[in-house]
A and B are shown apart, each in its own frame.
Chain A
Amino acid sequence: GNSVTQMEGPVTLSEEAFLTINCTYTATGYPSLFWYVQYPGEGLQLLLKATKADDKGSNKGFEATYRKETTSFHLEKGSVQVSDSAVYFCALSVGNKLVFGAGTILRVKS
């Protein structure tokens, strides 16, 4: 079946630190991969996506590369800000259906 595993949190970083949130997946076929972010009190927002192997998604300083050989889609940011504090979800899609990881809470301290 299709599943997504992402690192447990919470992840606590100081401002300007480097961020990595690991995500691996299991899928039949060729899924698209996504990172969503959920700020407190708000709905999930699409942060970035990649639709095929070796694609790199990027947005707001965040990046993730679709690695088929390691079935991974790790999220990275070079310098986090307090405003990046949120819950981050890795997901894959097969057709229109999304399969989510458990989410990783990120806390950035000033």
Chain B
Amino acid sequence: GAVVSQHPSRVICKSGTSVKIECRSLDFQATTMFWYRQFPKQSLMLMATSNEGSKATYEQGVEKDKFLINHASLTLSTLTVTSAHPEDSSFYICSAMGLAGSISYNEQFFGPGTRLTVL
């Protein structure tokens, strides 16, 4: 099956610093990747959609200058939280859809998530 990994699984940083989270598709080419944010006991909220080689499309209310998304290759997307503050503490989840040879994956495959804590 299609596997998506995220790194790191947990990160703690000081307020004002930037944090980069990686999302990788391990056995398929991720033509589209999605980034979600999940608050405790709440739903996943879509932050942005990115297609390989293109700029990300951000959902309404998501600051694109704060949450920088790069999807430079078919297997890697990164989310950088710039000048992080305690209110950015959350669980960040990525997903991907794409191709493996002649097989087209029309469903999203999810990474295990990254827990960000900003002190």
Which residues of A are in contact with B by a Cβ distance under 8 Å?
4, 36, 41-46, 49, 89, 96-103
Contacts and interface: CB of A to CB of B under 8 A. Distances in A.
Contact of B41 (A36, A97, A102): A102
B93 A43 contact: yes
Interface residues on B, range: 20 to 34
Interface string B17-46: 000000000000000101000000111101
25 contacts: A4-B43, A36-B110, A41-B112, A42-B112, A43-B4, A43-B93, A43-B110, A44-B93, A44-B95, A44-B110, A45-B110, A89-B43, A89-B44, A96-B32, A96-B49, A96-B97, A96-B108, A97-B46, A97-B49, A98-B44, A98-B46, A100-B43, A100-B44, A102-B42, A102-B43
Contacts of B32: 96
A46 B43 contact: no
Contacts of B43: 4, 89, 100-103
Contacts, number: 41
B7 to A, nearest CB: 13
Nearest to A6: B43
Interface in B94-108: 95, 97, 107-108
Nearest to B6: A43
Interface of B: 4, 6, 32, 34, 41-44, 46, 49, 93, 95, 97, 107-113
Contacts of A98: 34, 44, 46, 108
Contacts of A46: 107
A93 to B, nearest CB: 9
A36 B32 CA distance: 19
A4 B32 CA distance: 23
A28 B19 CA distance: 37
Contacts of B108: 96, 98
A52 to B, nearest CB: 15
Most chain B C-beta atoms within 10 Å of own C-beta, residue among A45, A46, A96 = A96
Nearest to A98: B108
B113 A43 contact: yes
Contact of B111 (A43, A89, A97): A43
Nearest to A101: B43
